[in-house]
């Protein structure tokens, strides 16, 4: 029973970890939580869906195009909208991401309605793999595998490539990075592109699990925020760990305490963490600057 619950938590946690990672890498760059993240991912999932159903392409073509689309959307959002905010403050940037979220949600709803669609996926949520007493759906296995490969890839990218290091430099001190020859504007745009891609992968893994509609990413986005707060909004590794941890806590809560209020756990965690350890479980220090 426990092992089964933990396995379920791990596959749910993979999605949260992806969303949290996507949020954190842009948060570190702009100090603003990108609320449009979820909707950008949802629209990317719809792009894949339309390619597969209306144009009858294979899954991998649709997947690739959706990823490219997500990248362009993320880059474009930063370059066309966020960058042009004059005298940016936390509040105005936050409001812009909310406005973009609302506009994307409306556009998607206008185009695709409120209908719930079955999202075709090579592996199914109903076929199961048995490992001793534990059964995991093949989709769950794919989710865990794809997300961990992607996250390892992202961390390697940040650590070992020139662009990744430039992104980290921009996150830490944009002015110093620019002085040292980093084209910070382009780097910020690329960061949003990568963040959007990570979010889109999360959406493409969520859509076959439930059904595809315009509210696809609402729940994962809140969970991603909770995970990021749990692990630390400024620590990508912490946010990923927070994602897995949240998935596990949530499933344990659902199994042993109450299924009905399972979703409220995320909010409880946010409040508790912010009350007792505002910088997150895995962050090193927290300073309030004047």
Partner 1 sequence: MKLAILLVVLITLPLVLPGYRIFTVNYMAVFVIVGLGMNILVGDTGQVSLGHAGFMAIGAYTTVLMMTELGAPFPLALPAAGLVTAGFGFLLGLPALRLQGPYLAIVTLGFGLAVTQIIGHSAFFGGHMGLVVPAATLGPISLSGDVPQYYVIVGAALVLALCARNLSVTRVGRAFRAIRDSEIAAATMGVDVAYYKTLSFALSAAFAGIAGGLLALMTGFISPGVFTFLLSLMFLAMVVFGGLGSIPGAILGSIVMGYLNLEMDAFEELPLLGPALESFSSRFMSSAGLPNVGWVVTGLLIVLTILVEPRGLHGLWIRLGAIVGGGRGDGAGSSGPPADPSGPPAGVS
Binding site for partner 1 (CB under 8 A): 27, 31-33, 35, 81, 84-87, 90-92, 94-96, 98-115, 218, 222, 225-226, 229, 233, 260-261, 263-264, 266-267, 270-271, 274-275, 278, 290
Please tell me what DSSP assigns to residue 36.
Answer: T
Q: Residue 35 or residue 75: which is nearer to partner 1 going by CB?
A: 35
How large is the angle between the packed helices 218-231 and 236-256, nearest 10 degrees?
A: 120
Separation of alpha carbons 207 and 90, rounded Å: 32
Minimum CB separation from partner 1 for residue 62, in Å?
Answer: 21
To partner 1, the closest distance from the beta carbon of 262 in angstroms equals: 10
**Which helix H or strand E contains 171, and what residues bound it?**
helix 162-172
Going by the DSSP 8-state scheme, the letter that residue 79 receives in this structure is I
- The nearest distance, CB 12 to partner 1, in angstroms, is 17
Residue whose token pair is 């990218």? 157
Considering the complex, what minimum distance in angstroms separates the CB of residue 130 from partner 1? 34
- Backbone angle region of 289, left / alpha / beta, with phi > 0 → left and psi within -120 to 50 → alpha: beta
**Least separation in angstroms between CB 218 and partner 1:** 7
d(Cα 167, Cα 162) in Å, to the nearest integer?
A: 9
Residue nearer to partner 1 on the CB measure, 92 or 180:
92
Are residues 242 and 228 in contact, defined by beta-carbon separation less than 8 angstroms? yes
Q: What are phi and psi of 161, to 5 degrees?
A: -105, 160
Q: Which is nearer to partner 1, 178 or 262 (CB)?
A: 262
CB atoms within 10 A of CB 283: 16
**Least distance from C-beta 159 to partner 1, angstroms?**
26
């Amino acid at each position: 029973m426990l092992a089964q619950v933990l396995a379920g938590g791990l596959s749910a946690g993979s999605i949260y970890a992806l969303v949290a990672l996507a949020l954190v890498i842009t948060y570190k760059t702009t100090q603003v939580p990108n609320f449009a993240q979820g909707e950008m991912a949802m629209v990317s999932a719809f792009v894949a869906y339309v390619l597969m159903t209306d144009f009858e392409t294979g899954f991998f073509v649709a997947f690739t195009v959706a990823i490219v689309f997500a990248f362009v959307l993320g880059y474009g959002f930063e370059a066309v909208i966020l960058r042009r905010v004059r005298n940016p403050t936390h509040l105005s940037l936050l409001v812009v991401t909310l406005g973009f979220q609302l506009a994307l949600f409306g556009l998607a709803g206008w185009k695709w309605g409120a209908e719930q669609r079955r999202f075709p996926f090579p592996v199914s949520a109903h076929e199961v793999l048995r490992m001793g007493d534990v059964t995991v759906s093949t989709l769950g296995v794919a989710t865990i595998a794809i997300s961990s490969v992607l996250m390892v890839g992202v961390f390697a990218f940040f650590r070992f490539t020139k662009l990744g290091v430039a992104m980290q430099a921009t996150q830490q001190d944009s002015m110093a990075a620019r002085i040292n020859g980093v084209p910070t504007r382009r780097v910020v745009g690329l960061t949003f592109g990568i963040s959007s891609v990570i979010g889109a992968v999360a959406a493409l893994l969520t859509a076959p699990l439930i059904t595809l509609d315009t509210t696809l990413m609402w729940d994962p986005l809140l969970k991603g925020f909770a995970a990021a707060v749990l692990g630390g909004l400024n620590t990508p590794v912490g946010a990923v760990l927070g994602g897995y941890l949240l998935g596990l806590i949530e499933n344990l809560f659902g199994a042993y305490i109450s299924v009905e209020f399972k979703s409220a756990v995320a909010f409880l965690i946010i409040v508790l963490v912010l009350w007792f350890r505002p910088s997150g479980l895995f962050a090193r220090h927290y300073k309030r600057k004047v």
